[in-house]
Amino acid sequence: MKENQFKKWEDLDITDDFIFSRVMRNKRLCRTLLEMILKVKIGKIKFLTSHHAIRVEPNAKGIIMDVYLKDENRVINVEMQTSNQGDLARRARYYQAAADIDTTPKGSEYEDLKQNYVIFICTFDLFHKGKPSYTFQNLCLEHGEPIYLDDGTTKIFLNTTSKELDNLDLELRLFYDYMKGNNAQTNFTKELDATISRMKQEKEERNMYLTYTSRMMEFRRDGYEEGISIGLTQGIERGTYKTKLETAKKLLARGDSPAEIADLLSLSVSQVQELKNS
């Protein structure tokens, strides 16, 4: 996306990085989406925002992740992709390596590495086979039956334009339908849609988007590839302490829990609770 290609605020939807990253800050929605895609139970989510952008060493290529999180067993990066630049396969490889380095403390054993997932939600068919998803794991080529390397890495590329959806669970199938711009039909997509509608009515969110577009231009000039991290939107959102409190009040009025708001804004639960009781 070039500098003059940022969409108008009114035209944004779930397929846009900014909206997707902001909506996925809702842990319930994020967990639901991940469980639909991975077909596993996701534990307690912790968003990895210690680095707004990841650069594994000063001269290495920097990356900015859309939705970057972990639970007890996994580290997961989910990216929204609306254009094919021809580099997604190698980008996935780099993202997984960077996430391993970022989440593995010095002195750890290799067995401490978590299951590492990179998920690209694509509004195009990357492999031109018509399949709704393509899942890749490392396996041996010299044996008739698959021998999986079992290194804990998985790369998944969704193709939301696929028409071969019969084998998908109904919830995921209707999420694909929603991604195509059709009406929300499930509780999950209806909540996504309602959340986006609320966001687009809030002046603060609009201002945050304007700040985001400016920051993205800065990141590109600094050599970071395209993308927006939850950490970046969180950093933009924080601002001054006064802004945090104002944002917390709005989130309380929206019905978010004090614990979720405290996590989002780096406030203590007691601070948020005090606002709620005031």
Tens-place pLDDT, residues 24-80: 989 999 999 999 999 999 999 999 863 345 655 566 666 777 899 999 999 999 999
**DSSP states along 144-161:** SS--B---SEEEEEEETT
Q: How far apart are CA 163 and CA 63, in angstroms?
A: 32
Q: What is the token pair recorded at 92? A: 């996935």
| Residue partners of 49: CB distance under 8 A and separation at least 6 | 68, 229, 230, 231, 234, 235
Report the residue count for the chain.
Answer: 278
185-205 per-position pLDDT tens digit:
999 999 999 999 999 998 888
Strand partners, 34: none
Report the predicted TM-score, pTM, of the whole model to 2 decimal places: 0.77
Picking from 170, 192, 165, the residue whose alpha carbon sits closest to that of residue 181 is 192
Element (H, E) at 270: helix 269-277
**Does residue 154 carry a pLDDT above 90?**
yes
> For residue 214, how many other CB atoms are within 10 A of its CB?
13
99-138 per-position pLDDT tens digit:
999 899 889 999 999 999 999 999 999 999 999 999 999 9
Tell me the backbone φ, ψ of residue 44, rounded to 5 degrees: -65, 120
